[in-house]
Amino acid sequence: MRFAPALLLLATPALAQDWPPEVAVILDEAKSICEGTFTAAPEAVTQRDLNGDGTSDWVIDSGAFQCSDSFGTYCGTRGCGVDTLIDGTRAGLNLHSWDTVTEGGTTYLTAPNDQGETVRFLWTGSEWQLQ
Residue 29 has pLDDT above 80, yes or no: yes
Residues 103 and 52: their CA atoms lie apart, in Å, by 10
Residue 1 has pLDDT above 50, yes or no: no
* pLDDT cut 70: percent of the chain above it: 87
Contact 33, 39 (CB under 8 A): no
Residues 40 and 88: their CA atoms lie apart, in Å, by 23
Residue type at position 106:
T
Residue 10 has pLDDT above 70, yes or no: no
Q: Which residue has the higher pLDDT, 61 or 2?
A: 61
Domain boundaries, the chain: 8-130
Report pTM.
0.84
| Structure confidence at residue 71 (pLDDT) | 80
* Segment 69-114, tens digit of pLDDT: 888 889 998 899 999 999 999 999 999 999 999 999 999 999 999 8
Phi, psi torsion values for 2, nearest 5 degrees: -95, 0
Count of residues for the chain?
Answer: 131
